[in-house]
Structure 1
Amino acid sequence: MDTDGLAGLLERFGLSEKEIDTYLAILDHGESKASTIADAADVSKRYVYSISEELEERGFVEVDDHAVPTVVRPVDPETVVERLTHSVEEMEPELQSRYTTTERTGEQFEVIKSRQTVLKRIEELLARAGDEVTLSLPASVLPQVRSTLEETANRDVLVLLLVGTADGDQIDAASVAGTASTVRTWDALVPTMLTVDRQHGLLAPSQILTSSTSDTRAIALSQEQLVPVLTGSFLANYWPTAEEQYVAPPADLPGTYEGFRNAVFQIALHQAADTRLEATVEGTPVGERDLPSTLSGEIVDVRQSLVRPATSTVPIENAFEIDVDGDRYSVGGTGAFLEDFEAESVTIRPLEE
């Protein structure tokens, strides 16, 4: 370690630049007079007397003011390190007692260099999912995250899973049943891409997971403005092209969904089974439309591309219409601007005849 590196470490223990220069001069010269230390550190004798007392209080040096002139001698470095270590260890219990864990907010970006860390982040993000997940990954990686995917889907989270089978892996409905709400495959090397609840995302070249010698990097991010862009790319560029292999059965009704795509997905499944549905939607009218904050009525149309057959005009469109006393209103999710109503919560139930 060079002098700059040592100085940097000493700075972490609260020593200023001039204090560090003085202390290093004392170490270099051993027991010395103030004048010798002052010349070596390029400071005044008065400063040496002053700072030596402070260094003595911290346990770095000893000051013999009975001698004439006063001499300063360094404490054995091993003793200094032991004292510093003991002080740090004494702090830990009090620091822990005052420590409050809070989830970090705001923009977060992390560059990930290793395969294991990418897999760890995928597992962590899946475990925290509350509403929806989109995930594409190579088929060879699926066994390593399968159990976490199953746990996520069992929490009634909408999980859209796209598996790349470029290496000739065989995927069918039986082999992926239960891993997601719906699974599609694509005979191509798809990028590893994960989004969770419109807030958290991860993007990585598939090589980082499939090759032990890859020098590629992954990026994990938490930013509400960027994560929906990843979701839109997944739904528009990859999902429509892939082959549908598995779709979970419709969930039991009634059901309440704060994730709008999850609600649309369930509506599509139940309508495919010829179940007539009604919905209660809580949210906000779009624009200046004069509507209440809650709408209830029969679901008369759904537009989506989450499950086949697709009924939307564009892949990222998710919306439905309800009939409220003869008037039809279109309902969209977060950020809706073409629809009449922006939903925050959707409750679906069978229509009572």
Structure 2
Amino acid sequence: MDERGLTDLLSQFGLSEKEIDTYLAILDRGEAKASDIAADADVSKRYVYSISEELEERGFVEVNDHSVPTMIKARPPSEVIDRLSGTIETIEPELEQRYTSTDEEIEQFEVIKSRPTVLKRIETLLESAEEEVTMTLPASLLSQIQPTLRETVDRGVLVLLLLSGPEAENYPIEQLDGVASAVRVWHARAPLMLTVDRSLGLIAPNDMLTQSNSESNAISLAQRQLVPVLTGSFLGNYWPVAEELYVDRARELPLTTSDFRNAVLQVALRKQQGDDIVATVRGRPVATENGEDTIEGEVVGVRQGLVKPATNSFPVENAFTVDTGNQRFTVGGEGAFVEDYEAHEVILERSEDAE
């Protein structure tokens, strides 16, 4: 490290330029008279006496004023470092107490002008997903984000992926294992639409991602009031017209999830296998404004369009029916209004495991 670098580091401990010059002059001599230090540091002898007292209080030097002339001695660097380290450790608890952690937040609305930034944002959003992802993506870009998609699925996140464009029609099915909960393909060049956990979204014209000379912009948004509209558009307009290409295997039971569409998908897959499923649903009776209730029973019906064959009566319907033994209740997800219950958490078990 050169002298400039050392000076910069010492300044971080609150030493002024003159104080640093004086201290370095003392270090160079080890021990010296004030007049010699003043000459080396190009400061007055009075200043040396004054600053030496402050440096002594900080633990940098020792001042022997019992001798004539007064001698100023540099303390061993190891002792100085120990003193500085102790000071830092002393203030750490107070700093921690005052520190307020703030996560970096995505702006409610953000215009993104470059393709690399859009691709990076896709990765960031997928990495943040905890429950649910819906995405339309040009098939030509899938290879770039496959690792992140697989990590997202491995965390138990529901991932509904629609690959668009001419490249999607003959996409190798063997390359889709583990990249999504379900994959559909559509020959049209659909825009990129990505939603995460019903609260984060990203929209980009297809040409922005597939053409190098595109002047289009993308929009990122973080609004729980608007993102579900995108999810509804995905499930209502794009997903039904696309061809089902891949469906992941059912997840192991018992399964606890707060994402209702994930619960519906698992019920549908299990029912297709002929399994008898018991659900414990914690949620709000739709007829009440507040309050929570828990129901438990066998799942005797499911209405969904997430996987083929579709059993719902309208595109965004995802629900199942629970027979408690005394009564049957229909269960829907967040915002349910035609069902009996709005589910907040669902536990799924095999019928024999629940006995």
TM over 0.5: yes
Q: Distance in 1 between matches of 2:106 and 2:124?
A: 18
Give the match for residue 242 of structure 1.
242
Contact 2:169 2:186 survives alignment (8 Å): no
1:264-316 Cα shifts (integer Å, max 9, x gaps): 00000000000000000001111239996100000000000001110000110
Q: Distance in 2 between matches of 1:188 and 1:115?
A: 20
2:328 partner amino acid? R
Say whether residues 1:317 and 2:323 are aligned partners.
no
Q: Distance in 1 between matches of 2:204 and 2:168?
A: 21
1:200-251 Cα shifts (integer Å, max 9, x gaps): 0000001111111100000000000000000000001110111111101111
How many residues are treated as equivalent by the alignment? 260
SS, match of residue 179 in structure 1 = coil
Say whether residues 1:184 and 2:171 are aligned partners.
no
Alignment of 1:295-334 (within 5 A): 295-334=295-334
Say whether residues 1:274 and 2:278 are aligned partners.
no
Displacement, 1:176? 1.3
1:228 partner amino acid? P
Contact 2:168 2:185 survives alignment (8 Å): no
Give the match for residue 294 of structure 1.
294
1:203 partner amino acid? I
Q: Distance in 2 between matches of 1:168 and 1:129?
A: 25
Displacement, 1:154? 0.8
Q: Distance in 2 between matches of 1:100 and 1:342?
A: 35
Q: 1:101 to 1:121 in 2, by over 3 A?
A: farther
1:273 partner amino acid? Q
Contact 1:278 1:348 survives alignment (8 Å): yes
1:237 partner amino acid? N
Which ranges of structure 2 fall in alignment gaps of 5 or more residues? 1-93
Q: Distance in 1 between matches of 2:137 and 2:199?
A: 19
Give the match for residue 233 of structure 1.
233
Displacement, 1:192? 0.3
SS, match of residue 287 in structure 2 = coil
Q: 1:98 to 1:218 in 2, by over 3 A?
A: farther
Q: Distance in 1 between matches of 2:149 and 2:126?
A: 7
Q: Distance in 2 between matches of 1:260 and 1:301?
A: 15
1:149 partner amino acid? L
Cα RMSD over matched residues? 2.3
Say whether residues 1:132 and 2:136 are aligned partners.
no
1:167-193 Cα shifts (integer Å, max 9, x gaps): 576313212111100111101101100
Give the match for residue 197 of structure 2.
197
Say whether residues 1:148 and 2:115 are aligned partners.
no
Give the match for residue 117 of structure 2.
117
Q: 1:149 to 1:281 in 2, by over 3 A?
A: same
1:286 partner amino acid? V
SS, match of residue 246 in structure 1 = strand
Contact 2:283 2:341 survives alignment (8 Å): yes
Contact 2:106 2:221 survives alignment (8 Å): no
Q: Distance in 2 between matches of 1:234 and 1:186?
A: 13
Percent identity of equivalent pairs: 54
Q: 1:97 to 1:139 in 2, by over 3 A?
A: farther
Contact 2:284 2:290 survives alignment (8 Å): no
Contact 1:123 1:148 survives alignment (8 Å): yes
Alignment of 1:9-158 (within 5 A): 100-103=100-103, 108-158=108-158
2:117 partner amino acid? T
Q: TM-score normalized by structure 1?
A: 0.70
SS, match of residue 213 in structure 2 = coil
SS, match of residue 137 in structure 2 = strand
Give the match for residue 335 of structure 2.
335
Contact 2:169 2:185 survives alignment (8 Å): no
Contact 1:193 1:201 survives alignment (8 Å): yes
Give the match for residue 346 of structure 1.
346
1:127 partner amino acid? E
SS, match of residue 329 in structure 2 = strand
1:28-71 Cα shifts (integer Å, max 9, x gaps): xxxxxxxxxxxxxxxxxxxxxxxxxxxxxxxxxxxxxxxxxxxx
Q: Distance in 2 between matches of 1:291 and 1:340?
A: 14
